[in-house]
Amino acid sequence: METVNITIEGQSYQVEKGLTILEAAKKCGYEIPSLCAFNHGECSLASCRVCLVEAQEGKGPNRLVASCVYPVSEGMNVTIGSPKATAARRTSVELLLSNHNRNCQECDKNGKCELLHVAQVTGARENMYQGEQTPVTVDMLSPSIKRDTSKCILCGRCVARCQNAHGLSVLGFEKRGFNTIVGPAENRSFMDSPCILCGQCTTVCPTGALTEVSEIDKIDEAFRAGKHVVVQVAPAVRASLGEEFDYPIGTPVTGKMIAALRRLGFERCYDVNFGADLTIMEEGTELLGRIQNGGTLPMITSCSPGWINYAEYYYGDLLDHVSSCKSPHQMQGAIIKSYWAKQMGYDPADVFVVSIMPCTAKKFEKDRPEMEHDGIRDVDVVLTTRELGKMIKRSGINFKRLPDEDWDQDIMGEYTGAAVIFGVTGGVMEAALRTVYYKLTGSEYGKIEFTEVRGHDAGIREASLDINGTVVNVAIASGMKSAKVLLDQIRNGESKYHFIEIMGCPGGCINGGGQSYVKPCFLPNEDDDILDTYKEKRANALYSEDERQTIRQSHNNKQVQELYEKFLGEPNSHLAHELLHTTYNKNRERFN
Amino acid sequence: MAHLQQSAALQIEEICSRYVNEETPLMMILSDIQKEYGYIPLEVQELVSEKTGISVAEIYGVVTFYSFFSLKPKGKNVIGCCLGTACYVKGAQQVVDKFSEILGIKPGETTDDGLFTIDALRCIGACGIAPAVQINGTVYPKMSVDQVPALIEKYRNGGNA
Amino acid sequence: MSDKITSFEELEARQSSCSQCLNDKYLGADGKRHVILCGGTGCLSSHSDEIREKFVEVIAAKGLSDKVTVNQVGCFGFCSQGPFVKIFPENTLYRMVKMEDVEEIVDTDLIGGEIVDRLLYVDPKTGEKVAKQEDIEFYKKQIRIALHGCGAIDPENIDEALGADAFKGLAKALKMDRKAVIQEVLDSGLRGRGGAGFPTGRKWSFVPDVEGPKYLVCNGDEGDPGAFMDRSILEGNPFAVIEGMMIGGYAIGAQDGYFYVRAEYPIAVNRLRLAIKAMEMAGLLGDNILGTDFSFRVHIRLGAGAFVCGEETALLNSIEGKRGMPRPRPPFPAVKGLWGCPTCVNNVETLATVPYILREGAEKFASIGTEKSKGTKVFALGGKINNVGLVEVPMGTTLKELIYDVGGGIPGGKQFKAIQTGGPSGGCLTEKNLDTPIDYDNLIAAGSMMGSGGAIVMDEDNCMVDVAKFYMEFICDESCGKCSPCRIGTKRMLEILTRITEGKGSMEDLDALQELASNVKTNSLCGLGQTAPNPILSTMASFKDEYIAHVQDKKCPSHVCKNLMSYVIDKDKCFGCQMCAKGCPADAIKHISPEYVAPGKKLPAMFIDTDKCVKCGACISTCRFGAISKQ
Ligand SMILES: Cc1cc2nc3c(=O)[nH]c(=O)nc-3n(C[C@H](O)[C@H](O)[C@H](O)COP(=O)(O)O)c2cc1C
Ligand code: SF4
Ligand code: SF4
Ligand code: SF4
Ligand code: SF4
Ligand code: SF4
Ligand code: SF4
Ligand code: SF4
Ligand code: FES
Ligand code: FES
Ligand code: FES
């Protein structure tokens, strides 16, 4: 590693060459306020100007430079705290605030708002500058994400994230000068644009301009109406919820989470892992059927609604390749309102299912017309991890002091390690392979772990398995940028795969659009490389839970077996199709 | 795209294909379309997106950035009033105001009958003869407020010079 | 004419035969008369094209077609007196020629051999008629280096360019080592004419010596409102700019050159296209130029109406088909420019000057100008000045010489108030700066800057607060919106200025304006925002009393700001003719007393109801008795 010698505030440091002043300062223990920069140049427009510091190179002048883009150089002398630099940063923030709808009190982002944070840090004065505001657009049409341009500081992070995750940016800068805004083309609603509602943009937005649409109110109402409110939680949530309560990233908090849910008044608390095992039974069977009966191949997983939105919009011609399985929580919701309700003697109309998800696209998914049976919706409300955090805080629960509790164990409490790893890219594939192997060979795959499909990044991974003479080629992609490569191969008739797993978010649900914000300025106790490591840390939380499970293959889930025996018959049976499978529509109304 | 006529769609595809060998053809494609049609509506941008692989949001961002590109059709006669410094200090603002007053539209707008659009330009490089007004490409030198009514009448009546 | 030129020898032969030809024409050695018309934008808009056709027609009708030729050249520079017609070999200059003058010129001059007296330029000081261009005061202090060939050669004819020294500099450069070319330009002291004045040779030397594509980009965006130097050069002698680009391209090791030209300049673009085509046909662009291993291609890209695209990194984004939002620097374009490759951006005038330096030598160029600013500078003189036009003067010429000798002073006997140089990035210079020799450093020291060469003169009728507001409006319109200090800060400044011009400002506003201005300067990302407050700062420095008059006395001393002035009728001068009242759109003009007036008595005077008056100014020009004034 090549290094350079610099001074910051009069202290000498040796830092890696090529770093920006901001990064170097961070390594040396300084936090320079910043808004538009994100994740080592993932977004580096140098547009907010709140990271200005004084820098002197050689005998050159002492100049104000944007530390987020200016590289360190040998002998550079950096001053962060000089009156000139602090005043400059404060002015930049004050100007931003003068064109900002400052109703922090009712803002979804309060407490996690980077703008408010830098305003406090820089000592921005209230109403320092006043004047006209840029015309405002508030988009609340989508059930997933809300866009409020009155809170937007035009940092461009969302644009970069959407672009990096999906290749095609749905969001972009529009107009210019004081009229500039960020939004989908023609300033349309997300519902009218090719947005896949994955929520990735909401995870990077520093302000309240992009947030999930909250559904907490609907739960209050369901309780008030005396419904039987059942909650089910996706595996990835436990890997991130702790962050809402200042646990180190990657701390699994399953036991406390369940305890909290009970205290919030849910009648039953289930793990969507049960649904995930069910999905594997259905999807594995579907795959084997396609392989053995010459069906459309490769088959592609269908559990990520972000990906499904993408498929319907951009690859309407390939919908036959997508597994007809509903996603796990939709399957489980359908089972709760049929099998479970019957068991409990409840009218399904009185049962209210809440899914806690790492995902904003699931909010849209649950509203799809296909997701109901006999007029009964599978799932009524989807909350993100972040919303659950808010709900817990709202109710006065001291999360850290909760005991560890366990899921309700009646008829759908059991789950396997295979289901847990659904939350990370490659997990569905691994879970499916464990079961497909068994189905083809009649015995368990000895090693259990298919490590070749593991990873937590957004690239493409592939593997080829010879299972008793049947060669199964598989590939995994997360984020639509990678998925596009595999999809174009199929479109051009060049795909060599049998089974493909696609996840909407880069890294899978552990990095979902509804997960806790990973904003270094709010994580003073994490390492400074947290943006590089958080995905791995969250993934490890899931893999370690898989390892701890005694049963690690979906087909060995006793309660799932019982469900088939008592209710569904076999995987892919007629009833299973009615309740657990769905159809896709490339002409979905929201796109017109 | 559904709203785009077959012939127009073909022509736009043709324009896109002119620049297939260019590394970054977007500005050139948009300039050609603007020249050909006088405006670049969203349906056309969608088609360009499909042909070039550039996202609609990005194309829309470019179209709305440059003042030459228009999302709406312009009037039959485009009155470009120079408001560059040389013209401004010689009273160009009054000339623009007069056009606005008579036509009842602000700069950037088009009359309801589709006959006139007023554009405020920033120097057309004819400062030597300021204040300058450019109508459909013809430059009128040393404009004064008094000349405005007759000029409008001239173009209202077919407008040949 | 389409023979390929494949070696230095062939080039020289062609140059000397073309030059012979051109000389014959000017000196009449070909036994013909030559009518030359200005084809610059100014004159074209005063119908110089139709006048040319009329000449051809009349000449043909009179059977003179084989004795007289009709040609068009680029801007003569003296645009306010256009359209121009010159007759060779006598070198007679006619100005303000109209269609109806054509017959007379043909009859009297071309046939009769007499000068048409009434079409000659009249020296306003002496009242004498001047027949030759070089005897006109306007041209006397000028030296034409960047404007070489402009107004002299037919910009659409490569042979005329070849006859007028074109490609001599290129040939010289191609015989030199690349490093030596850069050294030559360094030695000449040439500084970039696009605004910042960075030494061109230094800029070229920054381009790293690496393999792979490199680019030379010519910045022809010329966004400064009120400037038309680059346009005129491109229109008048596109070959010189291409030649300069090729020399630069050779020096930095580029194989491709890009012209980024404003779409508002159709004539320039067209002439540039023709010139490129002609050079390609002549083998002067393409592979192995003049038999060397230097290959070069030239491309044109059009701007689409965004001032900020004059900023070099925004310009690169625009060529790359993106929004013209500037990029942070470093990395500088020289290292990472167009499509991530090393790129050098040079202004039109800079490149037009380069051939001269190679052709005549660095020393000769460096002998002109001041210590730190060498050579000449082209200015577009505009605004309240008699000789509006394009001038090229040596660095070090004083503002007084520029305004009074070259520019001919202020029209209408009005008082000079200020001259704005550097456009929206520059500042106003006043009476006290008149003796300042113009160069990069002096202008900055005086609180303005050279900019690209726009020079707008203002007189006592211009309100400096209004001018500052005008520039701020321009900046607000043209800010790309990327960074917060410029996007929001300029808007806030405009809001304050608007308050002041409407009489709603306070003394605190003045302080706030000052503070904002200095913050926007330091905090903005690109040159646009960093210089945007200059017009405010410089007018506040020189005309603080005008600001205070607006704020405290609620008066606009120049009677420009509508809210702070009123139209009044002097009842002693008014004859009560009512002409003004008829034209008033607001019905604001009434009789003082509507009593009966005895026949023969003076009609009662009128008065203006200030509550009704919308300040359109119509009445003031209607009154033949000068009874109405602004207060
Ligand atoms: C807002 C802004 C506008 C500019 N406009 C122009 C322009 O119209 N023409 C130009 O040549 N340079 C312009 N420049 C300067 C260029 O960025 C660049 O410095 C110049 O083209 C370099 O050429 P030179 O070294 O030959 O001067 C502008 C700079 C800024 C910041
Ligand atoms: S985005 Fe931040 S600063 Fe703005 S209202 Fe919300 S909490 Fe407050
Ligand atoms: S939700 Fe996803 S697809 Fe939609 S704009 Fe945000 S990042 Fe892009
Ligand atoms: S929406 Fe958020 S992330 Fe996107 S530009 Fe605005 S503030 Fe930045
Ligand atoms: S990857 Fe997970 S979080 Fe992302 S869209 Fe798919 S289901 Fe939602
Ligand atoms: S200073 Fe102005 S023009 Fe330059 S980047 Fe910032 S907003 Fe854009
Ligand atoms: S300025 Fe216009 S409105 Fe006022 S009195 Fe004169 S004509 Fe009437
Ligand atoms: S035109 Fe002049 S003289 Fe006649 S009424 Fe008006 S002010 Fe009086
Ligand atoms: S963080 Fe550096 S400019 Fe925004
Ligand atoms: S300022 Fe109007 S033409 Fe230049
Ligand atoms: S345009 Fe004719 S003299 Fe300038």
Cα A157 to the center of its chain, rounded Å: 16
Give the nearest partner residue to C265 out of B23, B66, B125, using CB atoms: B125
Query: Do residues B59 and B81 share a domain?
Result: no
The answer, yes or no, to whether residue C2 has pLDDT greater than 90, is: no
Please give, rounded to a whole number of angstroms, the shortest distance from the CA of A176 to a CA of chain B: 5
Per-residue pLDDT tens for C111-122? 999 999 999 999
pLDDT band at C31 (very low <50, low <70, confident <90, very high): confident
B84 and B121 share one domain: yes
Q: Is residue B125 within a helix (H) or strand (E), and if so which, with residue range?
A: none
CB contact under 8 A, B85 and C226: yes
B90 vs C383: CB contact, 8 Å cut-off? yes
Per-residue pLDDT tens digits for A393-443: 999 999 999 999 999 998 998 888 888 888 889 889 989 988 989 988 888
Give CA torsion, residues B70, B73, B75, B81, to 10 deg. 0
Q: Looking at chain A, which subunits does it touch, using at least 3 CB pairs closer than 8 Å as the criterion?
A: B, C
User: Count of B–C CB contacts within 8 Å?
Assistant: 152
φ and ψ at residue A551, rounded to 5 degrees = -100, 130
CB-based contact, B59 to chain A, within 8 Å = yes
**Could you tell me if residue C138 is inside a domain?**
no
Are residues B151 and B83 part of one domain? yes
Contacts of A170 in chain B (CB under 8 A): 55, 57
Task: Provide the 10 A C-beta neighbour count for residue A573.
Answer: 16
Lowest mean pLDDT among A501-505, C38-42, C284-288: C38-42
B72 within domain boundaries: no
**Identity of the residue numbered A414:** E
pLDDT in tens, A294-322: 999 999 999 999 999 999 999 999 999 99
Residue A456: pLDDT band (50, 70, 90) is low
Count of domains in chain B? 2
Identify whether A198 is a catalytic site residue: no
Q: Verify that B112 and B144 share a domain, yes or no.
A: yes
H-state helical runs in C28-127: 41-45, 48-61, 102-104
Residue B52 placed within a domain: yes
Considering the domain boundaries, does residue B1 fall inside one?
no
- Please tell me if residue C4 touches chain A, with a CB cutoff of 8 Å: no
| CATH number (domain holding residue B137) | 3.40.30.10
Residues 6+ apart with CB under 8 A from C546: C463, C464, C465, C539, C557, C558
Last residue within a domain, chosen from B33, B65, B97: B65
Residue C64 lies in a domain: yes
> What does the pLDDT read at residue C472?
96
Q: Based on the domain organization, do C175 and C269 belong to the same domain?
A: yes
The residues that bridge with B110 in the sheet, in sequence order, are B117
Q: Measured between alpha carbons, how far is A230 from C258 in angstroms, rounded to an integer? A: 66
**Distance separating the N- and C-terminal Cα atoms of chain C:** 66
> Pairing relation of β-strands A3-8 and A77-79?
parallel
Same structural domain for residues C428 and C445? Answer: yes
On whether both B16 and B38 belong to a single domain, the answer is yes
- Residue C113 region, left (φ>0) first, then alpha (ψ -120 to 50), else beta? left
Does residue C27 sit in helix, strand or coil? helix
Could you tell me if C333 and C222 lie in one domain?
yes
If asked whether residues B96 and B38 sit together in one domain, one would say: no
- Give the nearest partner residue to C487 out of A66, A71, A178, using CB atoms: A178
DSSP letters for A176-211: -GGG-EEEEGGG--GGGTT-----HHHHH-SSTTEE
Q: How far is the CA of C451 from the centre of ligand 1 (A)?
A: 8
Q: How far apart, in whole angstroms, are the C-alpha atoms of residue A276 and residue C428? A: 73
Of A171, A176, A185, the CB nearest to B65: A176
pLDDT at position C164: 95
> C330 and C290, same structural domain?
yes
Pair (C518, C588) in one structural domain: no
Q: Which domain CATH number covers C303?
A: 3.40.50.11540
CA distance C192 to C347: 7
Pairwise CA distance, residues A528 & A253, whole Å: 23
- Residue A463 Rama label (left phi>0; alpha psi -120 to 50; beta): beta
- A172's enclosing H/E stretch is strand A171-174
Is the predicted pLDDT of residue C374 greater than 60, yes or no? yes
Using the Cβ of A177 and the Cβ atoms of chain B, whether some distance falls under 8 Å is answered with no
Query: Which of A169, A170, A180 to mutate to probe the B interface, most B CBs <10 Å?
Result: A169
Say whether both B61 and B85 belong to one domain: no
Confidence of residue A468 (pLDDT cuts 50, 70, 90): confident
**Cα C607 to averaged position of ligand 8 atoms, centre (Å):** 9
Q: Determine which one of A283, A312, A387, A545 is catalytic.
A: A283
pLDDT for B159 equals 61
Q: Which of B65, B85, B108 is the last residue of a domain?
A: B65
Band (pLDDT 50/70/90 cuts) for residue A62 is very high
For residue C495, give both structure tokens: 């809001």
- B57 inside 8 A of chain A by CB: yes
Ligand 3 binding pocket includes A579 (Cβ within 6 Å):
no
Proportion of chain A above pLDDT 70, given as a percent? 99
The 10 Å Cβ neighbour count of residue B149 is 12
Are the beta carbons of A334 and A580 closer than 8 angstroms? yes
Instruction: Say if residue C341 is in the same domain as residue C220.
Output: yes
Rounded Cα–Cα distance for residues A553 and A555 (Å): 6
Residue pLDDT, tens place only, C293-352: 999 999 999 999 899 999 999 999 999 999 999 999 999 999 999 999 999 999 999 999
- Provide the phi-psi class of A127: left if phi over 0, else alpha when psi is between -120 and 50, else beta: left
CATH number at residue C67: 3.40.30.10
B71 found inside a domain:
no
pLDDT for C3: 78
Q: Domain check: are B152 and B93 in the same one?
A: yes
Residue B70 lies in a domain: no
> Could you say which of B94, B128, B139 has the minimum Cβ distance to residue C80?
B128
CB pair distance less than 8 Å for A171 and B57: yes
Instruction: Check if A286 is active-site.
Output: yes
Last residue of some domain: C319, C346, C366?
C366
Q: Which two tokens mark A211?
A: 């947030």
Q: What distance in Å separates the CA atoms of residue A247 and residue A276, rounded to the nearest whole number?
A: 27
Closest alpha carbon to B130 in B140, B138, B119: B140
Question: What does the alpha-carbon distance between residue A136 and residue A100 come to, in Å, rounded to a whole number?
Answer: 10
In a domain, B58, yes or no: yes
> Per the domain annotation, does B120 fall within a domain?
yes
What CATH number does the domain containing C592 carry?
A: 3.30.70.3270
Question: Does residue C329 have its Cβ closer than 6 Å to ligand 6?
Answer: no
Say how many Å lie between the CA of residue C53 and the centre of ligand 3.
Answer: 61
pLDDT tens for each residue of chain B, 161 residues long: 446 788 899 999 999 999 999 989 999 999 999 999 989 999 999 999 999 999 999 999 999 999 999 999 999 999 999 998 888 888 899 899 999 999 999 999 999 999 999 999 888 878 888 899 999 888 898 898 889 999 999 999 876 54
From chain B, pick out residues whose CB is under 8 angstroms from the CB of C455: none
Annotated active-site residue A362? The verdict is yes
For residues B83 and B104, membership in a common domain is answered with: yes
Q: Does residue B86 share a domain with residue B129? A: yes
Same domain as C469, residue C448? no
Q: Are residues C535 and C506 in the same domain?
A: yes
- Model pTM score: 0.94
A113-127, A253-267, A578-592, C367-381 — which is least confidently predicted? A578-592
Same-domain check for residues B110 and B59: no
Report whether residue A361 contacts ligand 5, using a CB cutoff of 6 Å. yes
Which residues on chain A are in Cβ contact (under 8 Å) with B61? 172-174, 185
Among A158, A164, A201, name the best residue to mutate to test ligand 3's pocket (greatest count of ligand atoms within 8 A of Cβ): A201
- What domain range is C38 assigned to? 32-133
Q: How far apart are CA A513 and CA A201, in angstroms?
A: 7
Q: Return the structure tokens found at A343.
A: 């068991």
The pLDDT score that the predictor gives to residue A316 is: 95
User: Which residue from C minimizes the CA distance to B127?
Assistant: C226
Q: Is residue B112 located within the same domain as residue B49?
A: no
A153 lines ligand 4 (CB under 6 A): yes
For residue A369, the one-letter residue type is: P
**Using a 6 Å cutoff on CB, does residue A35 contact ligand 4?**
no
Residue C442 lies in a domain: yes
Task: Identify the H or E element spanning C476.
Answer: helix C464-478
> Do C226 and C286 belong together in one domain?
yes
Q: Grade residue A239 by pLDDT with cuts at 50, 70 and 90.
A: very high
Q: Please choose, from the candidates B58, B38, B10, B159, the residue with its C-alpha nearest in 3D space to the C-alpha of residue B110.
A: B38
Question: Best of A200, A363, A481 to mutate for ligand 3, by most ligand atoms within 8 A of CB?
Answer: A200
Question: pLDDT for C154-164, tens place per residue?
Answer: 999 999 999 99
* % of chain C surpassing 90 pLDDT: 82
Q: Give the pLDDT confidence score for residue C594 in this predicted structure.
A: 59
Tokens 């950037």, located at residue: B108
| B3 in A contact zone (CB under 8 Å) | no
Q: Which residues of A touch B45 (CB under 8 A)?
A: 185
Select from C87, C117, C133 the last residue of a domain: C133
Q: State yes or no: is A370 an active-site residue.
A: yes
pLDDT at C1: 47
What is the amino acid identity at position C383?
Answer: G
Same domain, C350 and C206: yes
The structural domain count of chain C equals 5
User: C116, C133, C150: which is the final residue of a domain?
Assistant: C133
Please give the residue range of the domain that contains residue B132: 77-156
